[in-house]
């Protein structure tokens, strides 16, 4: 893993305990699921998932995010037991290599086992809403906690994509979640906020959020952003007959959104393809340094 820099760009956010770079960080996705929208089934087997995580680190990922439950729109939940079975061996192997691993889970028992296996970040897409015991666990473990904007489980979340002022409401709801988890003992300095691109949001909502990361940054915490291969990009790049661009062909558009996010000071971007996105954040770092 790259060494921390001694003189980071003072404009860049940072999170205690996570090696600092002079650029936006890159989190590589390891979905140990049979049904994720973007790469479902490719890394379902533990050995394949471990190899994939190692490849992402070799390509320059600062963090690998390991998840065992698909959250694509309409997805049904898996059992906690199954989620544990999927993620724990993968996390243990990658952490043993020295990788900085986050666990993508809404379940406290999965987060607990993941931390025991060596994960050092909890990425909870529900921001503590799905499992009310989660903030306590994270508070006790004193690890960075990704609090994402979320309005309910994936099976019907798109019915909740109703806003009069999406940026204002997402900021207010994130602020409420930050206050709630701090009330449970989470150190405010360890919170990372995420506007939750695609979660109870239409394409228009996603674009509005991506255009106004400054407003989310005003919450005072580093931003994690995950646009990679998401549906709004597929819609934007639809064929003339309206067929959305398939997830695997949304890589270049993902890099474009990474550039936009990094230029607005995002702390980290979460992506499926690491190499081109590391290039993009390095370009943005050079551009920012020259301004």
Of 63, 87, 121, 146, the residue at the interface with ligand PMM (CB under 6 A) is 146
| Least Å from the CB of residue 67 to ligand PMM | 6
37 near ligand PMM, rule: CB under 6 A: yes
Long-range contacts of 234-241, Cβ-Cβ distance < 8 Å, separation of 24 or more: 235/203, 236/203
How far is 279 from 168, CA to CA, in rounded Å?
32
**Region from 16-24, 66-74, 132-140, 278-286 binding ligand PMM, contact rule CB under 6 A:** 66-74
Question: Between 22 and 46, whose beta carbon lies closer to ligand PMM?
Answer: 46
The verdict on whether 270 is a catalytic residue reads yes
**Region from 162-170, 191-199, 234-242, 252-260 binding ligand PMM, contact rule CB under 6 A:** 191-199
174 neighbors 147 (Cβ within 8 angstroms) = yes
How far is 105 from 30, CA to CA, in rounded Å?
12
Question: Between 4 and 64, whose beta carbon lies closer to ligand PMM?
Answer: 64
Catalytic residue among 230, 245, 250, 291: 230
29 near ligand PMM, rule: CB under 6 A: yes
How far is 19 from 25, CA to CA, in rounded Å?
9
Strand partners, 102: 65, 121
Cα dihedral value 257, 262, 265, 267, nearest 10: 100
38 near ligand PMM, rule: CB under 6 A: yes
104 near ligand PMM, rule: CB under 6 A: yes
91 near ligand PMM, rule: CB under 6 A: no
According to CB under 6 A, which residues from 202 to 231 bind ligand PMM? 224, 226
68 near ligand PMM, rule: CB under 6 A: no
Please identify which residue in the block is written with the tokens 């205690």: 16
**Helix-helix angle 274-289:251-263, to 10 degrees:** 30
25: helix, coil or strand? strand
112 near ligand PMM, rule: CB under 6 A: no
234 near ligand PMM, rule: CB under 6 A: no
Judged on CB neighbours under 10 Å (0-12, 13-18, 19+), 153 is middle
197 near ligand PMM, rule: CB under 6 A: yes
Tokens describing residue 23 = 């650029």
| Least Å from the CB of residue 199 to ligand PMM | 6
196 near ligand PMM, rule: CB under 6 A: yes
103 neighbors 67 (Cβ within 8 angstroms) = yes
Beta-carbon neighbour count of residue 54 at 10 Å? 17
266 near ligand PMM, rule: CB under 6 A: no
**Region from 56-64, 69-77, 129-137, 208-216 binding ligand PMM, contact rule CB under 6 A:** 69-77
15 near ligand PMM, rule: CB under 6 A: no
The verdict on whether 23 is a catalytic residue reads no
Question: How many Cα atoms sit within 13 Å of 163 on the Cβ side?
Answer: 22
Q: What residues are labeled active site?
A: 230, 270
Which parts of this chain interact with ligand PMM (CB under 6 A)?
29, 31, 36-38, 70-72, 104, 123, 125, 146, 148, 194, 196-197, 224, 226, 270
């Amino acid at each position: 893993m790259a060494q921390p820099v001694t003189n980071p760009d003072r404009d860049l956010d940072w999170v205690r305990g996570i090696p600092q770079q002079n650029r936006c960080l890159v989190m590589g996705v390891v979905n140990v699921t049979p049904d994720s929208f973007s790469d479902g089934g490719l890394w379902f087997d533990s050995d394949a998932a471990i190899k994939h995580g190692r490849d992402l680190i070799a390509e320059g990922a600062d963090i690998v995010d390991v998840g065992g439950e698909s959250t694509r729109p309409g997805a049904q939940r898996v059992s906690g037991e199954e989620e544990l079975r999927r993620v724990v061996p993968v996390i243990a192997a990658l952490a043993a290599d020295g990788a900085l691993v986050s666990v993508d889970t809404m379940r406290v028992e999965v987060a607990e086992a993941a931390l025991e296996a060596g994960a050092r970040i909890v990425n909870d897409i529900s921001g503590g809403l799905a499992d009310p015991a989660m903030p306590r666990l994270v508070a006790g473990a004193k690890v960075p906690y990704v609090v994402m904007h979320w309005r309910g489980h994936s099976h019907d979340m798109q019915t909740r994509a109703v806003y009069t002022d999406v940026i204002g409401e997402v900021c207010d709801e994130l602020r409420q979640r930050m206050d709630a988890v701090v009330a449970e003992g989470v150190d405010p300095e360890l919170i990372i906020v995420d506007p939750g691109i695609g979660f109870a949001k239409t394409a228009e909502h996603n674009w509005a959020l991506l255009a106004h990361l400054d407003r989310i940054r005003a919450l005072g915490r580093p931003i994690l952003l995950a646009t990679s291969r998401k549906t709004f990009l597929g819609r934007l790049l639809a064929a003339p007959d309206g067929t959305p661009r398939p997830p695997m062909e949304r890589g270049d558009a993902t890099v474009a959104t990474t550039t936009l996010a990094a230029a607005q000071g995002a702390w980290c971007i979460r992506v499926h393809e690491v190499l081109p996105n590391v290039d993009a954040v390095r370009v943005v770092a050079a551009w920012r340094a020259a301004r």
